[in-house]
């Protein structure tokens, strides 16, 4: 059972449920502290748990044969990790990598299916979230194809900033290149440009957001489109 001292309703999907449905779900959850760089699930393996982040945030990464993997979405307290369980598929094609340390509510796959059977409201809520998730992944694919690296980096920094209470965080050139699916030199050029515009400060992997509004102006429209979609579908 989730520890009642922890912020169990800090996840927006859970917070939107009725008190009865919240209690039903939380009774089967446990509170866990996730640590940055930990791998919760490897692509192609059986999905054993579902996570509802309350403070942590998790990258969903797709493998690409011999090429570097690519982040397709970043999940924080607005969502959940473990969609394949909801779809009654035993394995997930994505790697689940903790990007930001913090809390999460964890529930076993079988227990989650049992809760879904008893809560039509939760099932509807998760169905809507899956729709939003699918649209955002499709948008990410288009963004990779048509938008320049600097715009995409600004978008990624905003998404990361939305899920963290801090303006400062650590992300090396290698890590950013891995997340965005570009060469390291592309990240170097994009980060240098954003720094010259005094939107960020970047030194040896330490990043500080200096001008949030300026970063929003430099980002591609995908950032705003994704946020608008979430609001329209999930409230």
> In this structure, how many other beta carbons lie within 10 angstroms of the beta carbon of residue 118?
11
How far, in Å, CA of 45 to CA of 58, rounded? 17
Q: What is the per-residue pLDDT across 100-157, written as a single tens digit (0 to 9) for each?
A: 999 999 999 999 999 999 999 999 999 999 999 999 899 988 998 899 999 999 999 9
Q: Which domains are seen in the chain, by residue range? A: 12-122 (2.60.120.10), 148-219 (1.10.10.10)
How far, in Å, CA of 234 to CA of 44, rounded? 29
How far, in Å, CA of 133 to CA of 226, rounded? 9
Q: Which residues pair with 81 in a beta bridge?
A: 51
How far, in Å, CA of 64 to CA of 70, rounded? 8
Q: What is the per-residue pLDDT across 59-83, written as a single tens digit (0 to 9) for each?
A: 999 887 766 678 899 999 999 999 9
Q: Which helix (H) or strand (E) holds 183?
A: none
For residue 59, which phi and psi values (nearest 5 degrees)? -85, 135
Confidence of residue 5 (pLDDT cuts 50, 70, 90): very low
The model carries a pTM of: 0.90
**SS3 at position 207:** strand
Q: Are 117 and 21 in contact (CB under 8 A)?
A: no
């Amino acid at each position: 059972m989730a520890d009642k001292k922890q912020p169990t309703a800090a996840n927006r999907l859970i917070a939107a449920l009725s008190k009865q449905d919240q209690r039903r779900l939380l009774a089967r959850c446990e509170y866990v502290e996730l640590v940055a760089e930990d791998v919760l699930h490897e692509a192609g393996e059986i999905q054993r748990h579902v996570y509802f982040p309350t403070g942590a945030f998790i990258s969903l990464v797709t493998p690409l044969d011999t090429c570097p993997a690519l982040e397709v979405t970043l999940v924080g307290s607005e969502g959940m990790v473990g969609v394949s369980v909801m779809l009654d598929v035993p394995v997930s094609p994505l790697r689940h990598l903790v990007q930001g340390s913090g809390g999460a509510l964890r529930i076993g796959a079988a227990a989650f299916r049992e809760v879904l059977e008893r809560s039509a409201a939760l099932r509807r809520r998760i169905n809507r979230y899956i729709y939003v998730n699918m649209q955002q992944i499709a948008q990410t694919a288009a963004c990779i194809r048509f938008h320049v690296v600097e715009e995409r980096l600004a978008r990624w920094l905003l998404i990361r900033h939305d899920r963290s209470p801090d303006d400062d965080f650590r992300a090396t050139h290698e890590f950013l290149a891995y997340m965005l699916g570009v060469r390291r030199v592309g990240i170097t050029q994009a980060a240098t440009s954003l720094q010259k515009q005094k939107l960020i400060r970047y030194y040896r992997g330490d990043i500080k957001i200096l001008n949030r509004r300026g970063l929003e102006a430099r980002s591609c429209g995908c950032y705003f489109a994704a946020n608008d979609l979430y609001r329209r579908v999930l409230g």
